[in-house]
Structure 1
Amino acid sequence: MDTTLTDPLVGKLLDGRYRVESRIARGGMATVYLALDVRLDRTVAVKVMHRSLAEDPAFVRRFIGEAKSVASLSHPNVVHVFDQGTDGDNVYLSMEYVPGRTLRDVLRDRGRLPAREALEVMIPVLAALGAAHQTGLIHRDVKPENVLLSDDGRVKVVDFGLARAIESTNQTRTGVMIGTIGYMSPEQVASGTADARSDVYAAGIMLFELLTGRQPYEGETPMSVAYRHVHDTVPAPSSLVPGCPPLLDTLVAQATSRDPATRPADATALLVAAVDAHRMLPRDSGPIPSGPVASFASGPVPGAPGVPPSPAATPNHTLVQPRAELPTGPAADLSAPEAPARRRFRPNWFLVGLAVVMIIAVGVTGWMFSRTSTIKVPQLLDKNLTLAVSEAKQAGFVVEVGKEEHDEKVTKGNVLKVDPVPGTEAEPGSKLVIVASAGPKRVNVPNVVGLSEAEARTRLAESKLVVDDVKKQASETVPRGQVMRTSPAVGNPVKEGTKVDLIMSAGLLMPDVMGMPRDEAANLLSSAGFTPEFTEQTDSAQPCTIIAQDPRPGREVDKGQVVRLTLSACNNGEWHWPWENNGENVTDENVIQIPNVMFKDVRAARDELRAAGFKVKIRNPVNRGRVLAQRPPGGQQSPPGTEVTIWH
């Protein structure tokens, strides 16, 4: 039966964002699903932690912290973490989806790999681990299941930090081991401690498995395997696979030393040794693929010596395993059977001497004929820098790595330029300069707030940015002529040459108080920071109302500006409505009461006056959204259709 059909998460929308399409795999800590990010319309892999872990608050807190650390780790050989979150009982990670297979799938299908190809898998793995170690991040669960091989030949490492997150749970008390037993370092077994050298040990075990097709230790129980990690020495790969290069025996021995102090200090140190070993391997030590894993799609290597694989039923899940009392007594001996005794060989010294002379003669002749041969610069553009340097050295060049240069298209850490260019013929030992990409160059929008327009233009030009548009906006706090903000905002990373808009302060805009009663105009102008001055003159307009103002409405002015206002005659404060006749109001049947809308939202005030049967005229002196003045005032009796002016 298809387990995908019975999985309750398949078909669900996780956290309102990730539509779970199908289940990819299930491991010791989590289940991985293929999902669609409906916000960004991209395919992702979603790793959902098992319920037993998600119910532990300590794990969830540590898991979130580790996810943030991994998300900051940007490396071409690390599976990128996009997001983390919780949805009910589900704690999840959203990650880059890498279509392809795991290294475990390749080992299951092909068995062991040739020496050169095994190193070409390990080099990008070690590059990823080395980048993590440089930032203080330890993987803790290095194994073939956590190495992904994409369909286009890339190698990616996944699951950084998950084992560390489990260490904080209530399940991890004293006497508990966390990890995968087959790759667990002696110090993890003995004391539960792990550092960069523990990852180096696991990488050495994985290299052993790539070369031999099996893990070095087997046992009836996980603890018997753990015992052998602590007490036994990992056998040389050549003891199981005759003909395995001695260089790789040495590399495995250094990485899997039981004493952490004698191992390479971190994955970067092991990477350097692996690259050197790859360079020195003879050409016939394995196929030379066009990419890091170009031959992974093929089946088992024809004619390769058979090596008995590890039992297929043995799972490699990450375990939370009690550190019970280790079994006593010697563990099973994994070394190869002792070779039968051979007859003592007595060399014929005459023949030996003759062979030496012939070898020297052939060597000298070959050197003389090869002095004028040329080699071709390989195609290295857009390849990982470490792999490119190794390939160039193998081709016979002396490599010099130049200073990184920024580029919008080539990924950081990949080759951007080669001098001489690929395809050029050169003499062996020639210098080859390789320049890597530093990734896209970005500059932060400088802080120009508070500067004048001229000063802001100069500051932006110094950052290689261009002023596109200058806009003005009223402000009660920023002095007129100074920058209020920019678009894009200050501090945002942008490309060089990006156009930036300046939003300048227009200071205060002169309010429009025309037609407003004297007292209300005085209060409004004073509260806005202006100084009103009144001049009264006889006029036919309504008494004590503003009939002229200077500066005119809408002018840009500074705080404290004197505003000269001309009033119509006040007539001792008496008010005569347009509909009044000789001081007598019209009949009560023809009037209704004007609503009082002072300090209400201007839209609500407009709707209320219209609903009462009045016309509405809106004036906008300071644009605060609230009614600051009303004419005629609320409470007055007026005929329907009377025009009521409101200021806001």
Structure 2
Amino acid sequence: MAAVYLALDVRLDRTVALKVMHRSLAEDPDFVRRFIGEAKSVASLSHPNVVHVFDQGTDGDHVYLSMEYVPGSTLRDVLRRRTRLPAREALEIMIPVLAALGAAHQAGMVHRDVKPENVLITDDGRVKVVDFGLARAIEGGSHQTRTGVMIGTIAYMSPEQVLAGQTDARSDVYAAGVMLYELLTGRQPYEGENPMSVAYRHVHDRVPAPSAVVPGTPPPLDTLVLAATDRDPARRPPDATAMLVAAVDAHRALPSGPSPTARHTAVPAGPGDSSGVTASPMPPPANPTLIHSAADLLTSPPARPGHEASRRRHVNWFLIALGIVMIGAVAGTGWWFSEGRYDKVPDLVGMNLAVAKAEAGKRGFEVKVGPAEHDSKLGEGKVLRTDPGAGREVVSGSAITLIPSSGPVKIAVPNVVGLSEAEARAKISEAGLTAGSVSKVPSDTVQRGQVLRTSPQVGTKIKEGGKVQLILSAGQLMPDVSEMQCDQAAEFLRQRGLNPAVVEQVDDAQPGTVIAQNPAARAEITSGQQVQLTCSKGPDVGFRWPWERDPNVQPGQNLVPIPDVRFKSVRDASNELRAAGFQVKVRRVAGRGVVLGENPLGQAPAGTRITIWH
């Protein structure tokens, strides 16, 4: 992709590595745009195990990156000198590599080309990862996407990269697992004469445990490699941070002292190596980043090594037929793995659970329903999430688990009736709810200032943090009994626990009618309190009804008996009085819906207004 030069930044007077993109890439304006965007992303990634990007620019036809210069060697150079590494040393290199990749994954970046060539080891032993984002910039180039390419190094490509050219954090995890395998064994898991044969094995085969090649490899490292290189991305660690945690745990599990594999490690003498142990290992292969045609990779048949000359000498119909069969098998397998085996998990979040189950079943997935989880926004019975998540590629027919929402957490309103306002607020807060507004209403039974009731009512389940209104007692208030017949008013007050005292005085009002009261209406009173009722005993010169004062009304004429409607419902009483030809005025003193008083009683002309109290 580029040529790298050792250069001097004359403005800051520092040595840098200058990576200049090949002209064929720099001529593509879409690539240049994406390259600049990726360079900005990488420049924002500040981590001690990442090679820093200082600057990016163009100079005529040249597009370049100015990067941190790291004196030392690549991890590939180390492998060429030493073949393979002891378990502890391999992990101590992988841990900073995974830390760098984890920082990138947390920032939403994917490396896409993890391999020993992109891991630098400084002269003082520090480990740094280089070339973040370059593969992504090339993949997005307009001239590349028309033909369908895969960017990367085939020896470290994950199955999903081979099949669909799609990468995410788990693809970097796969490549890191292959690299750890190579550090432990001194070889790559798959070898072949051409890229297609290696890619085929990535898709079909399972990376073997390192202990199968190097007996005595600690089991935690076998487990780590096998988990990271699982063909199904869903079964790998979700990102490099998760693999880093597993690697640290594996490192802690290693026995103290030299690794068991160290006794068998061939370490050839070379520059910077003073171990003195010599051997004649097969040098690890070089792994340049390649641009592979996806179509060629999946359709080109694997070569048969070691027989090129004999094939030219012994061509026969049997080999031709075998070649045709192999091409057909590879093509069919390529179709199966690229088109027929993997499906994307549909986005079912927010759907009704029954509808989501039907939709997933229709697409061929096996559907399971997990335990419901509370959610403050999504209603009960709807899909909260799926496992695996939406958009993940899984083997066709795989099981997906639907996690439904049980709605927000609901809490029953606690019983605070009879408590003071402060006590009620504390109890409501302890329950996980919020005490809201306060109102007051009269009460004959609950002491003033105490909770009479709540809204919502006690026991009602409401959303966690929801508001509960408090209705406090305003205490007992003096009812308005004016104009009520005195004997009716006195009896009513006795029933309410008061002690009425009656005083009579001359007044034009109907005799026996309450004309004044003390305390006044709606004044605060207490049970057993004495209440004075002033009642009319009529005028000095004999009492006359209002109609008797009317000269147009003859005595004894047009008088109608007034029905006694006391203790009937207000509605029935009103209907009965109106049916008898009277007008009706309704006044409230207790609000019980039953008539407690009526005035006047006896008889009166039709159309007279009759007052009833309830």
TM-score by length of 1: 0.44
Larger radius of gyration: 2
